[in-house]
Amino acid sequence: MLLHLKPEQVEIGMFVGGFDGRWIDHPFWRSRFLVETADQLARIRESDVTAVIVDRDRSRVVSGASEEMFPVERRTTIPSGMTPPYRGVERRRAAIFAPSPRARAFRPATYAQERRRAARVIDKSRRAVIDLFESARLGRAVDGDKIAPLAQAISDSIARHSRVLLNLVRLKQKDEYTYLHSVAVCALMINFGRHLKLSEAEVQELGVAGLLHDVGKVAIADDVLLKPGKLTLGERVSVEGHPLAGHSLLAQSSDIPTAALEVCLRHHEKMDGTGYPGGLSGEALSLYARMGAICDVYDAVTSDRPYKAAWTPCEALSAMQSWPGHFDPRLLDQFADSLGIFPVGTLVSLSTGVLGIVTGSASENGEAIVVRVFFDCDLLAECAPVDCEIPPTAREPRIVGRASPTFWRFDDWPAMVQRVLAATPDVDPQP
Ligand SMILES: [Fe+2]
Ligand SMILES: [Fe+2]
């Protein structure tokens, strides 16, 4: 017999057979399990699910069943004068007029609201990736149907508030890297795909690709994977085998999207042909493979590792732009734009109708950008230079995007940059 209980009615010893409510609101990767620990119980009671479905026959505890374990529906109070058919009409009306789960998923959220939801999505995804890697280690085929909802939840969070989840997942602890890296690459791929205006189906596939791209690492010993020093030749061969190992593992499943197979196999290839496993170069590398290479390295260098402190987003982008032959340079610029990262010297337009030059970052984590505003787009004339600090969450003024010196007819752009940067600016947060 199945009982619908409120979360606070669940006890240790009860067998959970499912949850009522949205998938993302329940705190477990599996939805069928025996509640055995106080920690499991606390997570159920603190969750946002509307009801917990308890399988009475598989539960070890049936205490309180006489009163407390009635199905939720049977305990509903019917106001006097209302007959059961009225309740049926009300329920149908509620179902018709309630927002659909997809509509709810895209309801805009404040930064603080989304931060709580994104933290839950990240935690759930991390545990799912651990499960996935464990199964792969045991040689089990990867179940694409379990991965797609994770990519969807990450994608929904980014759609509601593009920066929250990306910022949170970058702040991973050193020991969380292995699993959260997959979640981070998933989020970066989704954000990048949307910026490139790819179809939503492709964006979702790229998310799955991010989650699965390093699954071949299960074949590498942990001491090699986390080794701080230089790898021996044998160890390097083992590490460089992970794209092929991952690809052959994923190819065993029929429901893995093509983009995921492609990114898994090619995310360590380089534009000049010096990457692995195929040594492919230039046009031989698909868009998905080039995107995967960028997102993978960006997350690696902006994360704290046992042997290296994290770079700020700006430092990472500048370094990646200085490695000739590694990435597709035009795609790398697009990637920077997708994250709102503008290297020093970039001409940007602000939402207040002015142009400025990026002169650096104001905060320790490199997220607040300092822009020297010097040109009024309405008057089509230079104005007295003003330095302003723009946090990533700023609504007004905010950076709209890169601007083209050619479009604005700044004929001698390098000389203009020098002149503007040499001037003494005012400091004004509201240009
Ligand atoms: Fe990799
Ligand atoms: Fe990776």
For residue 267, the CA-to-ligand 1 centroid distance in Å is 6
Ligand nearest to the CA of 239: 1
Ligand nearest to the CA of 277: 1
* Full-model pTM: 0.68
Ligand nearest to the CA of 264: 1
Give the closest residue to 431 by CA, choosing from 392, 394, 404.
Answer: 394
For residue 87, the CA-to-ligand 2 centroid distance in Å is 53
For residue 184, the CA-to-ligand 1 centroid distance in Å is 13
Give the residue carrying structure tokens 């970066």: 188
Ligand nearest to the CA of 243: 1
Ligand nearest to the CA of 188: 2
Protein residues near ligand 1, an ion, with CB under 5 A? 214
- Please determine, looking at this structure, whether the domain spanning 105-333 carries the CATH number 1.10.3210.10: yes
For residue 398, the CA-to-ligand 2 centroid distance in Å is 32
Each of the 431 residues of the chain gets a pLDDT tens digit; together they read: 778 888 888 888 888 888 876 555 666 656 678 887 777 787 787 777 778 888 887 887 765 443 344 344 333 343 444 444 444 545 544 444 444 455 555 555 677 778 888 899 999 999 999 998 888 888 888 888 888 999 999 999 998 887 788 888 887 776 678 889 999 999 999 999 999 999 999 999 999 999 999 999 988 888 888 787 888 999 999 999 999 999 999 999 888 999 999 999 999 999 999 999 999 999 999 999 999 999 999 999 998 887 788 888 888 988 999 998 999 999 998 999 898 878 778 899 998 999 999 887 766 555 678 899 999 998 999 999 999 888 766 677 888 888 888 899 998 888 899 899 888 887 665 54
For residue 214, the CA-to-ligand 2 centroid distance in Å is 5
For residue 118, the CA-to-ligand 1 centroid distance in Å is 25
Across 319-345, b (16+ Cβ under 10 Å) vs e yields: ebeeeeebbbeebbbbbbbbbbbbeee
Please say whether the beta carbons of 326 and 272 come within 8 A. yes
For residue 311, the CA-to-ligand 2 centroid distance in Å is 17
For residue 325, the CA-to-ligand 2 centroid distance in Å is 19
For residue 298, the CA-to-ligand 2 centroid distance in Å is 10
For residue 228, the CA-to-ligand 2 centroid distance in Å is 17
Domain boundaries defined on the chain: 2-97, 105-333, 347-427
Q: Which amino acid is at 57?
A: D
For residue 292, the CA-to-ligand 1 centroid distance in Å is 9
Task: State how far the Cα of 224 lies from the Cα of 365, in Å rounded to an integer.
Answer: 30
